[in-house]
Structure 1
Amino acid sequence: MTTQTTETVADRYITLVDRAVHEPQALQELGSVFAPGATVQFGDLPPVTGLSDITEFYRNFYSEMADSKHVWTTTVLDDGTLEVRFIAAWRTTDGQLASQGAVEHVTVDASGLITQLRVLGPDTEIAG
């Protein structure tokens, strides 16, 4: 297992979703990080498949946020999976503050696009 020091598609993805809070049109760029048939799953929520549905999922997810910021590290696991450990903090449109830390596992196709992104719950233990 090695810590990634150069930008990966997972890093570009997180930067993009942070931008989307202030620039909703940035969600149109999700095709630059996700494969057309990609799947996204946040914890126990049902998976979302396909670029159109993923875009709508993120549009709804960020619609109540006034600000958002992620801090993260990306590690390339031995099987090529990108493991992203992150902490996110956000402010809702009604002024409430919240934060959460979690782990994402990201698989990438030969073109360098995300085919699967799974956010493991905050209680998930990952060795390392």
Structure 2
Amino acid sequence: MLDQYFETLDWADHGPSALEGLRDIFAEDVLLMHAGEMVQGREHAINFHRDQTARWKESNHHWTTSIQADGSITGKWSQAGLDLQGNGCSGSGHVTATLNSDGRISQLHLTLTGGSDRARLLIAKHLEVWMTPDATARAKAMEDIYTEDITIMEPEDVFVGRETISDYIDVVQRKAPPLSALLVSHSQNKEYIHWSWNFGFPGNKTALGSEVLHLKGDLIEKIVIFSDDTDIFTEGTR
């Protein structure tokens, strides 16, 4: 099924209608996690891929997959091509897919571990930390993207240190888990990255905001969050 998925994405160069083939690949309630972004539901997943492919002038995927003992499919993927300005761009990572009883993909997780856009890569690793439910795996992911004294400044709270932030992530995942997480825009200026986001929550609630990431080498040292909607994603954690 992953073969059909990547083949369908490569056909997107022939027009948006090519992505209609994803309807036969995704389960109705599919959970898609893609380079730190997340959506749930077949229609949302298809629209997500329409937005993604619209950012490329042309591209091709390469992938390898294997079936695990539990029936899941794992592998590696890469994408290379030209952006809308004709510049070369690329990305790569790991992929895991879980199939339902009908053989359709019910959960698809693509990580971003390499690529030509350094800022996008760091944002993906940052979001993966907040997406990881297992504390041990999360600790390893945090070492790969956060400094030991990482500081997060929300409008109402400040959290310092990987362990403190990991404990806070546990609370967020339990009490205020988002239904969707979308990156709206991003840019980098030397050791600073600014990116905007759109998170969806139960009850048709939406939180819009942005973050400034201060880098120390290839690690994030400080995260400053700006949003007028913080009550939506923090009210369940207090």
Whether the TM-score (by the shorter chain) exceeds 0.5 is yes
1:70 aligns with 2:44: no
User: Hey, what does 1:24 align to over in structure 2?
Assistant: 16
Matched position secondary structure for 1:121: coil
Whether contact under 8 Å (1:91, 1:97) holds in the other structure is yes
What is the deviation of 1:95? 0.3
User: Hey, what does 2:104 align to over in structure 1?
Assistant: 113
User: Hey, what does 2:29 align to over in structure 1?
Assistant: 37
What is the deviation of 1:83? 0.6
Matched position secondary structure for 1:90: strand
For residues 73-114 of structure 1, give each alpha carbon's deviation from its aligned partner in whole angstroms, at most 9, with x where no partner exists: 111112111012112102112101111221110000111100
Q: Partners of 2:3 and 2:30 in 1: how far apart? A: 17
Between the aligned residues of both structures, percent identity stands at 26
Aligned equivalent of 1:102, options 89, 93, 99 = 93
In structure 1, runs of 5+ residues without a counterpart are 1-8
Kindly tell me the number of residue pairs found equivalent between the two proteins: 116
2:76 partner letter: R
As a proportion of its length, which structure holds more helix? 2
Give runs of ≥4 in structure 1 deviating > 6 Å: none
Q: Partners of 1:29 and 1:14 in 2: how far apart? A: 11
In structure 2, runs of 5+ residues without a counterpart are 115-124, 126-139, 141-238
Q: Which has the larger radius of gyration?
A: 2
Matched position secondary structure for 1:41: strand
Whether contact under 8 Å (1:83, 1:106) holds in the other structure is yes
RMSD (CA atoms): 1.7
Between the two structures, name the one with larger relative contact order (CA 8 Å, sep ≥ 6). 1
